[in-house]
Amino acid sequence: MVQANLTSVIIFFFLGFSHYPKVEVIVFVLCLLMYLITLLGSIILISITVLDSHLHKPMYFFLGNLSFLDIWYTSSAFIPMLANFVSGKNTISFLGCAAQMYFSLAMGSTECVLLSMMAYDRYVAICNPLRYPIIMNKSVCVQIAAGSWVAGCLTALVETVSVLQLSVCGHNTINHFACEILAVLKLVCVDTSVVELIMLVITILLLPMTMLLICVSYAFILSNILRISSVDGQSKAFSTCAAHLTVVILFYGTALSMYLKPSAIDSQEIDKFTALVYGGLTPMLNPIIYSLRNKEVKAAVKKLLIRNPFGTVLISALNNIGASRLT
């Protein structure tokens, strides 16, 4: 076989779920729904955190950042996939593949860091409420958010450049629905030990280390909750923490199973569905779990709708539906 650098490949072909035509249609519908819900929920959250002065707090500042990167995260993977399914081409250019790989890695890496910082923010707010405004002041919040973005973008750049310098042996068909870095590595016919070592170090820093910080933060939070005398207060606090941890475990669990499994294990078909979970399901759940269940956010959404004529009609209709059900 003739060896050539990945950069010399003009176009890549995706296998996607083409081996399972019926499954492919179901996956398309699910991905479209997940993407639209993520887009709607994230845009609503970003809008209210910007427009409502009552939500100009560290928690909602980080949630706005999380929503913004979730839009980019899902868009980078799902828009090309949905477009390919409709057109029936299942192709992507080299530049498109490189961009998709980079943005997917960058947004996923940034989310890992940002989720750990959000857990730390909740720890300070609950366990040190009197010092919270001093510790998490505006300057610190901006630095934390900027640091998360820089860390995610730089690590993604290192991984992407490392992979694109490798050589392939006349094979340009990716057994995935997107230019996922592990799927692209399957095309390489040279020694990948150095690249795998780089990826391993970055993965350990971004996944187990940040997850450990989240677990420690929530351990202190839960310890503090147990001191609450009100049973109702404990129940609400536990419910909120459980919801947060469910999303965190779902995101980190699937990502860990992808990037820290032994290289000898070939599970590309499973990897595709795993990628749908951490790349589609968790971004969709983030606005719902972290914010739309929050009373302050609900009040801000209602206020925003009241200011809008269409929103007033919508609220009136919902109230009428509720009244009719009561009667």
Rounded-to-integer distance, Cα 172 and Cα 152, Å: 28
> Quick one: pLDDT at residue 100?
92
What's the chain's length in residues?
A: 327
Q: Is residue 142 part of a domain?
A: yes
Instruction: Write the CATH number for 151.
Output: 1.20.1070.10
Other CB atoms within 10 A of residue 246 CB = 13
Q: Is residue 25 part of a domain?
A: yes
pLDDT along the chain (327 residues), means of 10: 60 81 86 91 86 82 91 89 85 88 93 92 88 91 95 95 82 86 85 89 92 91 79 69 80 86 69 84 83 68 63 47 44
Its pTM stands at 0.84
> Quick one: pLDDT at residue 169?
73
| Domain total in the chain | 1
Q: Under DSSP, is residue 229 helix (H, G, I), strand (E, B) or coil?
A: coil
Rounded-to-integer distance, Cα 190 and Cα 247, Å: 38
> Quick one: pLDDT at residue 324?
44
Rounded-to-integer distance, Cα 61 and Cα 217, Å: 19
Other CB atoms within 10 A of residue 163 CB = 23
Rounded-to-integer distance, Cα 293 and Cα 288, Å: 6
Q: Is residue 229 part of a domain?
A: yes
**Do the Cβ atoms of 101 and 158 come closer than 8 Å?**
no
User: In angstroms, what CA-CA distances link 141 with 148, 286, 303?
Assistant: 11, 20, 26
Q: Is residue 308 part of a domain?
A: no
Question: Which amino acid, one-letter code, is at 223?
Answer: S
> Quick one: pLDDT at residue 129?
86
> Quick one: pLDDT at residue 170?
66
Domain span at residue 296? 11-303
